[in-house]
Structure 1
Amino acid sequence: LPAPESPAAAGGRAPRTARERALCEVFAQTLGVPEVGVTDDFFALGGHSLLAVTLARRIGERCGVRPSLRALFATPTVEGVDRLLGRAPGEEEREEAAAPDFAAEVRLAPDITGARRDRRPARPSARPLLTGASGFLGAFLLRDLIEATDGPVDCLVRAASPDSAAQRLRANLEHYGLWQSRYADLIHPVPGDLAAPGLGLTPDERTALARRLGPVLHNGARVNFAAPYGDLRAPNVAGTEELLRLLADSGSPGLHYISTTGVYAPSRGTDPAPLTESSPTGPADGLPDGYAQSKWVAEQLVGLARERGLPVTVHRPGRISGDTATGACQDRDLLWQLIKGCLQAGAVPDLAHGTTDWVPVDYVSAAVTALSTSERPGTRAYHYTNPDAPGLDRVFEAAARLGYALRPVTPEEWRACVSEHPDNAAQLFLGDDGRSGHDETDHRRFDSGRTARAAAEAGVRQQPLTDEVLTRYLTYFQVTGFLPAPGTPPGA
């Protein structure tokens, strides 16, 4: 989470109890400001995710209980942290925030319907619209859309001007090794904002976009696994509704919503039935975080749009890994943060590591592009998972072959190794009762056979994640500086 350009000034309520005073001091010390009020927002005052790690550690040292990063993102105030730590003796019990009413959230505006759609054949000038092109999967989707259509692609990008949007898109493609000079004339940036009314477009801009609208690949979202649903609703839910309204006002052949397999609640059974493309999602109140809940609600809006005659399809990728050809990966993935933390500490917890659940980004992007440009009538959803995903142990074995020294230690020793060095990436997983943030009790299984067959018919097949590919991933992160070089002392 980047720091705001102009942090707000502190001005919240003064502390009333000894613990509130202690927490205010910890907040102020971490932020480097003179004082912090009980109701001041840590992130509004200039905090960011790395500072939040420091804040969590200092709270643990001062109060005896370390909150998780998820908890800090959900309640980033002294008041909220005080509530997390429990009532102090003699303090009156305070009312907890109400959980979202998801049934009430699943409502699609009545004007979004297929009744008034432009039924004429697509104009020769029609071109795809892609959201989320400035992200990891978005970069590959943009590359593959250009290559598949050999024509311009509209990209809705949060930016102040078309020039700054174009620069942002080019930098993203260059970062993952995808840029080609000819793309400069084929990428048409559309400055806008998924979280803003009307996508942040003027009426004339929206009308022009609707007139030339080809297939819509809605990949954009705010991704934050610690933020509550309310913080993600505007970009992830309202933004989807605005795109469905744009679809209803156009002659587009259809909207393809990029969701996630995270819309299925974790399974606690020992041998659950596999989840197929037609399995019911949710339930919403069983989903583990606000991000998954926001994607679930958005999917429900897409389903309502389908019932009203709009051509829509859902695509659900699992945990996306890097490019099998180049090794290009995203470093903001939580599993890679855990891997990095282990390499930094030179130790791995002596536990059953489980599967990575990785599905290569080049497969997901190529399959989504192929299936969205040669859509099969009546198809409602596709799944992108990997039945042969490597275990985390194979990743550590590949790292050992590259020269990383990794000793197995008890979970308690591992937590101590990570806690000892504040810059260790696995600090993200510490907090609350001291357990790591990796959930070992989720036994979901996915059967994506129908999608794999459809993709194969379109000429796309998933490449296996061999040891060579895993080595390619690790080497890519070495070159970018995300991973320490082999032999780097812990904490260096």
Structure 2
Amino acid sequence: MGNARVAVVDGANGYVASNTICEMRRRGIRVKALARGARTRVFEALEAATLNEGEPPATMSDVETFDCELTEERLGIDDFTAAAIFSEPCDYWHFAAAVDLSPNRPALLEEVNIRGTERALRLFVEHSRPGSRFFLISTAYVGGVMDAPTAETWLPITDDTRFRTVYEATKRGGELVFRDFVREHGVDGSVFRLGQVVGSAKTGHTTSDFGIYNFMTNMRRVAHRFPGGDAAVQVAEGATLNLVPIDTCVEWLLALAEVDEPPRIVNLTDRVGVPAPDTVRLIGAGLGMTLRPVTPENWDDAQLTALDRAVATRMAYTGKYLLDRIEFDRGNLEATLRVPDEVCDLGLVERLVAWYLK
């Protein structure tokens, strides 16, 4: 993606999106940022972006901002504004999404992650110039509960499909909407599926509060109630967490965009995840308590202590990701880019945990 191509980024105030914009500006890529309350929220997110390391790029003020709302038709953007956004060929980055692992808001998740993706695509089809591309930012966990690694292919939803969360289901639904626009409207672009994006590999810093950080936040609340406690945590033998540092994720995203015809679907994941039991132990140590991984086969509800139950309650949804060895095919990533076999090890996890919990 050369300097002649502009990047249109929705959900621009999000963690990965704001860090991607910062790196785009460092590379001289012009950016048009879309978000709810864009004029203030986008620049606040850019100012706080992890990759800045305390000093945002001097060209950040050149980012153009536009308000958008995924629950409104055409994202609430009128024809005049759309003409300004799509005044030249662009790469449209659809980061905007609702991220909620609980089952409490299925209607909102469907409205944003499926219908919102459809509205963004419709806006793109109606107004983008020839030569434009649409990049859908998805999650590698769209595979749901599977025995095999999640393939870099379209994954239709069948009667046998099982998901850990509504979020996974709606993100897969959004991908299938994109598939239909590719087939029916000839949309050019790709699906980039992200693993769990964590802090910087260089500093350990983050502004994210999802995934492993949500787990740590919940455990910190428990540790305040039970200082120095010893708690059991249900973790399957061989379970893994696929963590990708934000600087690596952004580097991969922009490198893929540099390719004239990137693969249609790419899993941006580590080759092998970090062991979930060891990660749980590291988090416990960081909190000054003991978190003991216990396999589901050895789990006994009748033997749980008050502390065990407090932990189990706090991890009712995030805990589902500790019960499987979740694997991903990344053949398309490796065939397109030169990527290391390992981008996150337990040493990095320890630094990420130490910084977040300090």
* Fold match by TM threshold 0.5: yes
The alpha carbon displacement at 1:439 in A equals: 5.5
- Flag the 1:279–1:313 CA change in 2: closer, same or farther, 3 A: closer
Identity across matched positions, percent: 17
Give the CA deviation at 1:319. Answer: 2.2
Higher strand proportion (structure 1 or 2): 2
Q: Which residue of 1 aligns with 2:199?
A: 322
**What is the alpha-carbon distance in structure 2 between the residues aligned to residue 352 and residue 430 of structure 1?**
13
Answer yes or no: is 1:311 the counterpart of 2:188.
yes
Could you tell me how far apart the structure 1 residues matched to 2:291 and 2:45 are?
A: 41
Who is 2:327 aligned against? 445
Distance 1:151 1:278, change over 3 A: closer
Does the Cα contact within 8 Å between 1:263 and 1:282 map onto a contact in 2?
Answer: no
Normalising by structure 2, what TM-score? 0.81
Which amino acid in 2 is paired with 1:371? L
Measure, in 1, the Cα distance between the counterparts of 2:291 and 2:167.
Answer: 35
Long gaps (5+) in structure 2: none
Distance 1:362 1:183 in 2: 19
CA RMSD after TM alignment:
3.3
- Which residue of the other structure, out of 273, 289, 292, is the alignment partner of 2:148? 273
CA contact (8 A) 1:324 1:362 kept: yes
Residue 336 (structure 1) aligned with residue 220 (structure 2): no
Equivalent residue for 2:356, pick from 477, 483, 489: 477
CA–CA separation in structure 1 for the residues paired with 2:42 and 2:197: 25
SS class of match (2:91)? strand
What's the offset of the Cα at 1:465?
Answer: 2.0
Count residues with an aligned counterpart. Answer: 339
- Native 8 Å contact 2:18 2:42 kept in 1: no
Q: Which residue of 2 aligns with 1:363?
A: 248
Asked whether 1:349 is paired with 2:232, we answer yes
Structure whose CA Rg is larger: 1
For each residue in 1:239-266, what CA deviation from the matched residue of structure 2 results, as whole angstroms up to 9, or x when unmatched? 2223222332322520000111222130
What is the aligned counterpart of 2:65 among 176, 180, 189? 189
Distance 1:207 1:334 in 2: 37
Q: How far is the alpha carbon of 1:151 from its aligned partner?
A: 3.2
In 2 relative to 1, CA 407–477 (structure 1 residues): closer, same or farther, beyond 3 Å?
Answer: closer
Q: Is the CA contact (8 Å cut-off) linking 1:277 and 1:381 kept in structure 2?
A: yes
Aligned partner of 2:9 among 105, 120, 130? 130
| 1:238 equivalenced with 2:122 (yes/no) | no
CA distance in 2, matches of 1:409, 1:396: 7
Q: Is the 8 A contact 2:265 2:332 kept in 1?
A: no
The answer to whether residue 136 in structure 2 is matched with residue 250 in structure 1 is: no
TM-score, normalization by structure 1: 0.61
> Which residue in the other structure is 1:406 paired with?
290
Change (3 A) 1:409 1:183: same
SS in 2 for 1:328: coil
Q: Distance in 2 between matches of 1:266 and 1:168?
A: 37
Contact residue 130 and residue 217 of structure 1 kept, 8 A:
yes
Which of 19, 22, 25 is the matching residue for 1:140? 19
Q: Which residue of 2 aligns with 1:416?
A: 306
- Would you say 1:263 and 2:263 are equivalent positions? no
2:17–2:95 CA contact under 8 A, matched in 1: yes
**8 Å CA contact retained: 2:256, 2:337:** yes
- Mapped to 2, the partners of 1:352 and 1:225 lie a distance apart of 18
Question: Of the candidates 385, 389, 392, which is equivalent to residue 269 of structure 2?
Answer: 385
Q: Which residue of 2 aligns with 1:465?
A: 344
Q: Distance between the aligned counterparts of 1:407 and 1:291, measured in 2?
A: 27
